[in-house]
Every structure is written in structure tokens, then in C-alpha cells.
Chain A
């Protein structure tokens, strides 16, 4: 699956440590992100925001002339785009505050390059999903834009619940998504008692996406824990 279009997004990096900026830029460059701009404080970041028009901001929380939380609010007054915090503040309280204010993710330093890339890609996929609605699977394709599965040239529509479940699986493609998270994605918070409904929906999704629904290869069960969506791109 080609995510290349996501790597052309404009990323704004704000951190008061030049060394960290250099490293993050080097990690991003290596992964193919070249539309980058960096700032060392709130003032520079706000000035850059007007000319650079970022599509994702990666912010430190503690900055010499302010804090990342209020910077996020100021940036979002100009334009709405996802924000990822990258900070040495590991306290849960800070995380809750960040998420409470509408951050899309919160990474505590130190971090692995892979982890950073994975989270950035996840945010971008989530925020700019409309631009690539087609996901290739072993025996079919999912068109999220039209809520359809295309198998052997035939378009099969997805129900709303099936769409929600597949979206949750796709956002965490290749990873186990627990039964509870899937129920929450489909039925909202406190989704107790929907396990059997979920199984029924999974069965129907398999009938749509799998070549042989009794031997699934794209939507696999992890016994007792949840399900995993294997996309054809990898």
C-alpha cells in the first residue's frame, strides 16, 4: 500500500533543543519526509505557521517562552491540523492534559525512531484518510471512501458497523486490536455484552473480504485477545 502522498505533508517541529530537532529531522528525512520546518520557541513557531502552513505539528511541552499546550491552541486558532506532543514530561497528568486539549498523540522521550514514524503515520492516515481510500488486501480491496469492498471486480457495500470495525483494524494494521477496542469502536463507550455481535460482524466482513472465509488470511483471529488486519502492502 502506498503512503507516499502522506510523506509530502508539511510537518512543523518545535523543540528548544537544537540537537533534538536535528535528530528528528534526520529520522524524518530517512523515512522520506522532506517538507519540514523547525522552530525553537513559541515566537518562531507562530511566525512560521503563517508562511509554512503546517499539516502536522510536533511540539515540545516546555519551551523557553511558553508551553506547548498553549502553543497548540494558538496554532489551531489559525488553522486546524493534527498535533503530536514529543516531550520529556512523562507524568500521566501532562498526558491527560495534552489529550484533554485535543492533542492527537503524546510521545514521551526517549523514543525509538520507528515508534515516532509509526505514530506520525497513524495520525496522518487518520487525519487525511480521504485522500487514499483504497486498502489492498490479499484477496480484495477496501474502499473506505465509498465504504465498499471490491472483490474480483465486484463492489460489495459495507454496513456502518462493519465500516467502523474495519476502520479500527486498519488504523492499527498488522497489530492486534482487542475485542474490547473493536466493540468500543462500533458501539461506543462501555461496550459490554457485544462480544457475540462482534463475532457475527467479523464473520460477515470475512465473507466480503476473504477468498475463503473459513480460512481467513486478511482478518485473522488472535485467540482470546482480538483480531489483526493483514494488509497486502507489506
Chain B
């Protein structure tokens, strides 16, 4: 099935796209969230600024007003420890009482890494001493053990990429396992659905992920099979019915035709009486042809006409049909002109000889039927590179463009499923069409340049 690889591609695409989108989403969410926070190293930098900003004058240390304002605003207290005395030599007004006023070296290390009485403390050093800033309780969480193996840092890009690759592989593995199960379940279903329009009987194992679908497809197949069996049965019944009727009509009709044929030749009968007998003969012949046509058309329509396709020479078949016609046309009201090139003696086709002869006879008969006053019939076989064309034309009354359109497009009553007024009658051309179709050929109807009607029967040449 062609759509399976396409499905896999689509799945992989969706997976990759969703991974990338997730990454972008997370990064941007993180950025958005942290923008609202104070920057990471801010208190340290502030402490640095305060240490650098403190000026010593005669009355002691002084902090510039802007810095002092900033500290006040953030509700931060600050002290300055002198390098020599290790005591507080400057402090802000809001210094809590719990903050000690002198420090040992270990105190300094402690407050750098931890808190004083719950206040997160940050240090900034200057030449003379150390500025210590105390931020409000619970405003910062200090994490002061950042130390890594040197190799870890130096190999970070490589490690990161490997981890990413392992992640991707894992996701892909999960995907493959999950999807291959799905595909395994989908495959028979897809095959089943594809087999349905081909009218094959389908039975899928009704288990697994998509068992409900399988059950539905099996049911559909059963319904289709039953329907086509019933349809076939109906077609058989119809064809048999037509065959039966035509058989039963033949015996009484042969009596009508036989006696009328005798009367027609009866010297004891008046010329007028013989003429009447002749009409009966001709009409019963028409009836016989109609019965034969109806029978053949219904069999061809429902594929019940046995085909005996052999290697044949189309020229010989058409020649026989033409000769038979001339042999039958006793009064010579319909002269037949054989227009096939003398060089063309062989036109190989794989065909049912009798059916093809029937088609050509029908075309010749058709010229006769539509030109009661007589006409010349032109028969020609031509060979192109891959096709053979039999054309039967006449110089009779001809047809209008509308008639040709109607002949070519409206369906015959025998094969029409609608009750419309546009149905065609006359089985002759329908049979020609059907015979062309079973031989993989086609029929073209047009006005003849000779003034009458022209039909071309185009058949594929045998390889």
C-alpha cells in the first residue's frame, strides 16, 4: 500500500514539530517568568556598589543619597565592617537589633554563605572593609555550594549533545513501537478496504486495536457479496427469460414465415395476394432479427455471451460479411462497393469471428434499414499502426448532427435504468457497440462525405 510510508513520514514530521514547539514554548515561558523576578546576581552587585559607594569623611562613612534611596526602597539594611577592627563602622538606620556589631573571620564566611537571623546577606568588598547587605527575610534563597568537576564543565557541550541524542532516540523508539503496533493493526484493515471496491470477498481477523473496524469491514464485504450474487442471479434470470422467450417464439414464427414464403411464390395467387405474402415474410424476418438481436444484446450486456477469440484476419471476416450480403440481396437494390486497398490482404486481430461478422452485417443491414429506397453501401478495411478500422458508409438519406449526438450519447432502452423519453431503439448499433467493447475497440458514428451515414468500427491490432 502506497499510503503507509506516507503515513510514517507524516507521523515523524508531527513528532519532530511537536518536540521543537515544546522546546520553544518552555524557553519562552521561562524567559517570561524570570523577567518578572529580580535578576540572579542583583543583591551581590548591589553590595559591591554599596562597598564602592561608601565615602569616608571627617564624620565617618557616608553613602550617596541615590544608593541609600535604593536600599530604603527595597527595605534592605546594610553595615560596613572595618578590615582591621572587624567591627561595624557604618550602618543604615533600619538595622535590626539582632544583627551583631562585631564579627570574627568565621562569622564573615558564615554570613557570606548563609543568613543572619533569617536575613539573606550579601557581601561586597572595598579597600577598607566589607559591606554587608541584609535583604528582607524570605526574599532570596541562597545556594552557595556551586562547585563542579572540571571535566564536567570542560565536556559540557559534548555531554549535552549526547544527552539530547539519547533523549531523541528514546522518543523515537517509543514512537516506533507504538506506531508499528498501530500500523500492524491498520494494515489488514487498509488492505480490506482496498479489496472492497474490487468486489473481492474480504475477511479480516476481528482482533486487536481496530477490531471494531475489522468487524464493520467484514460485514460490508458480506453485504456486497450477497448483493452482487443477487444481482448476478437477476441478470441470469433476465437473460434466461429473454433466451426462453426467443426460443418459444421461433416455432410459431417459423410457421408464419414458412407458409408466407410459400404463398409469396404461389403462382395460383394474384399478384396483390403475393405482394401481401411478401410483406408478411419481410415482417416475420424483421421479427426474427429482433429476437436474435435482443437475445445477443442481453447476453453481451451481462457478459453471458461465450467469447471464442482466436487469431483472425479482419479483412477475411469483413469480406465474408460483404459477400453474404450481396448473395442475399437478390434484387440488387443495395449495391455494395468494396473499397479496401488491394495491398491490404491481412489485418490480424484476436477476435470472435462470428461476433465480428455479426457486427459488420449489422452495420450493412443498418444502411439498408434506413434507406428503403435503396443506396450504395461502401465497405472498407484499413490498418493503422496499432488499430484496424472497418468503415461502413452509404450515400443514402444520412443523419442530422442531433441524431448523431443522440445515437452516441443517449442509452438504449435495454441498458437504460431511467424511465426517460430519450431512450434509443434499434438494437443493431447497440450490438455493434457491445461487440466492439468486448474486443477492446470502439465505434465512431459520423456523417459520411458521400452524403449518408458512416460508422467506423475500430479494433486493436494483434501484437
Q: Which residues of A contact B (CB under 8 A)?
A: 17, 19-20, 23-24, 26-27, 30, 88-93, 108-114, 175-181, 192-193, 195, 222-226
Contacts and interface: CB of A to CB of B under 8 A. Distances in A.
A10 B35 CA distance: 124
Interface string B327-346: 10000000000111010011
Contact of B258 (A23, A91, A224): A23
B256 to A, nearest CB: 7
Contacts of B338: 222-225
A195 B316 CA distance: 12
Most buried by A among B257, B281, B285, B292: B257
A131 B346 CA distance: 39
B247 A89 contact: yes
B327 A109 contact: no
B313 A111 contact: no
Contacts of B326: 176, 222, 225
25 contacts: A30-B262, A30-B265, A88-B248, A88-B251, A90-B292, A108-B250, A109-B253, A109-B254, A110-B253, A110-B255, A110-B288, A113-B262, A113-B265, A176-B323, A177-B323, A178-B320, A178-B323, A179-B316, A179-B319, A180-B316, A180-B320, A181-B320, A193-B345, A222-B323, A224-B340
A111 B254 contact: yes
Contacts of A175: 323, 327
Contacts of A178: 316, 319-320, 323
Contact of A110 (B243, B250, B320, B345): B250
Contacts of A26: 259, 262
Contacts of B320: 178, 180-181
Nearest to B253: A110
B354 interface: yes
Interface in B289-312: 292, 295, 306
Interface residues of B, number: 39
Contacts of A23: 254-255, 258-259
A110 B306 contact: no
A27 B306 contact: no
Most buried by A among B261, B281, B285: B261
Contacts of B342: 224
A110 B313 contact: no
B259 A92 contact: no
Contacts of A30: 262, 265
A227 B354 CA distance: 22
B295 A225 contact: no
Given A26-B262, A30-B262, A180-B319, 20 more contacts: A19-B255, A20-B251, A23-B259, A24-B258, A26-B259, A88-B247, A89-B247, A90-B246, A92-B306, A110-B258, A111-B254, A112-B258, A178-B320, A179-B319, A192-B345, A192-B346, A195-B345, A222-B326, A223-B338, A226-B319
A225 B323 CA distance: 7
A113 B261 contact: yes
A114 B257 CA distance: 11
A17 B313 contact: no
Interface string B238-277: 0000010011101101111111011001000000000000
A225 B284 contact: no
A224 B259 CA distance: 38
Nearest to B327: A175
A168 to B, nearest CB: 13
B250 A93 contact: no
A122 B246 CA distance: 28
A110 B254 contact: yes
A81 to B, nearest CB: 24
B257 A110 contact: yes
A225 B322 contact: yes
